[in-house]
Amino acid sequence: MEDRLNIRDMSLPEIEALITTLGKEKYRARQIMKCLYQKGATSFAEMTALSREFRARMEDLVVIAEPVLDRIQTSADGTKKALFGLADGLFIESVLIPGRNHWTACISTQAGCAMGCLFCLTGRRGLMRNLSPSEITGQMTMLRRFTPEGPEIKNIVLMGMGEPLANYDHTVTAIRILTSDYGLGFSNRKITVSTCGLAPQIVRLGRDICVNLAISLNAPDDRRRNALMPVNRKYPIATLLEACRDYPMPGRRMLTFEYILMAGVNDSPADARKLALLLKNIRCKLNLITFNEFSASPFRTPSPEAVSAFQQVLLDHRYTAILRASRGRDILAACGQLSGTRDAE
């Protein structure tokens, strides 16, 4: 049984290739995907549009498996954090963020993270492993199936645990399932990939698929970004921004740069002016995020006055600079606080 593939790890072309080896028509792959992702089938027995003989052959070849929804915590502000159990005993977390008329799902692509950003709780545990496509999409299918908010999820952001572009192939396969007309049917305009700055993979992503891209920047110069984000030593800011300039954003869409404000570290008006100059001539917007504190962290949340002054400099330079509200701090569900453990710090 362990040798059988999980069909939820397979994209539509991969399922088509599998069933053609069985002498079946390609359109059967579309039927299977619609059963899995739109009708919520958890076994081939439920796929009654397929012949009994075909279902039996598929059961011999593949399994249908998803993460297990272990529990959901609710924040005072309405944010919900979901803990998922994986088959090997690891845990990952997703977050449901309430909006005005919809919900946004923040999902994970790795168990843990190897990037080592100093301000991130997830990175303190290191990387356990990459998630499979079924473990990435499974967060969405389980949230849709078992939460009242599920049908109202309109946006997906891949900025939970892990670095999506360090798990490139599985992340792209998952996105293709999420956006397939026969999968979960999300528009690529409603999906955002967040990266700490893996420049070669940014270039590759722009060639392979079309989704929104958010770059975690967090410093206006290499000296401080090197200290905060070890990835910058391999892909410094100039290399990163060159990749960003080449990333295709059709229509009126813009790149997003995320900037976590840490008191006395990167939050001065002078830092904002350097940032404005750095991003000149890049079609982008900025999401400003105040640091979300956790135990044993050396960083602190800046004052509202410091945040306002930083934002105003960017507005004066004609940038769209949005102060993103931190949601779910009381349950460690805010940006950089996910840990994937049953006993949060």
How much is the average pLDDT of 6-20? 97
> What is the pLDDT, as a whole number, of residue 324?
87
DSSP helix/strand/coil, 122: helix
pLDDT tens digits, one per residue of 300-309: 999 999 999 9
Say what the pTM is. Answer: 0.94
Map out the domains of the chain with their CATH numbers.
5-63 (1.10.150.530), 68-331 (3.20.20.70)
Tokens 């792959």: give the residue: 29
Around 186, how many Cα atoms within 13 Å sit in the side-chain half-sphere? 29
pLDDT tens digits, one per residue of 122-173: 888 899 999 999 999 999 999 999 999 999 999 999 999 999 999 999 999 9
Active site residue 335: yes
> What is the pLDDT, as a whole number, of residue 198?
98
Judge whether 340 and 125 are in contact, CB under 8 Å: yes
What angle in degrees, to the nearest 10, is found between the helix axes of 133-146 and 168-179? 40
How much is the average pLDDT of 259-269? 97
> What is the pLDDT, as a whole number, of residue 345?
40
Q: Could you say which of 16, 66, 93, 163 is catalytic?
A: 93
> What is the pLDDT, as a whole number, of residue 268?
98
Angle at 280 between CA 275 and CA 286, to 5 degrees: 55
> What is the pLDDT, as a whole number, of residue 293?
84
> What is the pLDDT, as a whole number, of residue 1?
40
Structure tokens at 259: 């900037």
> What is the pLDDT, as a whole number, of residue 249?
86
Structure tokens at 282: 């890049």
* Residues near 162 by beta carbon (within 8 Å), at least 6 away in sequence: 108, 109, 110, 111, 112, 113, 122, 127, 130, 131
User: Residue 251 — pLDDT band, cuts 50, 70, 90?
Assistant: confident
> What is the pLDDT, as a whole number, of residue 326?
72
Backbone angles phi and psi of 203, in degrees to 5 = -60, -45
Rounded CA separation 133/175 (Å): 9
> What is the pLDDT, as a whole number, of residue 3?
79
How much is the average pLDDT of 253-264? 96
Active site residue 93: yes
Q: How far is CA 225 from CA 128, 257, 260, in A?
A: 25, 14, 12
Rounded CA separation 33/158 (Å): 22
Judge whether 217 and 174 are in contact, CB under 8 Å: no
| Residue closest to 302 by CA, chosen among 268, 345, 337, 342 | 268
pLDDT tens digits, one per residue of 31-65: 999 999 999 999 999 999 999 999 999 999 999 99
> What is the pLDDT, as a whole number, of residue 336?
67
Question: What is the secondary structure of 169-223 as a DSSP string?
Answer: HHHHHHHHHHH-TTTT---GGGEEEEES--HHHHHHHHHH---EEEEE---SSHH
How much is the average pLDDT of 112-119? 94
Q: What's the mean per-residue pLDDT of the chain?
A: 93
pLDDT tens digits, one per residue of 167-209: 999 999 999 999 999 999 999 999 999 999 999 999 999 999 9
Q: Which residue has the higher pLDDT, 331 or 30?
A: 30
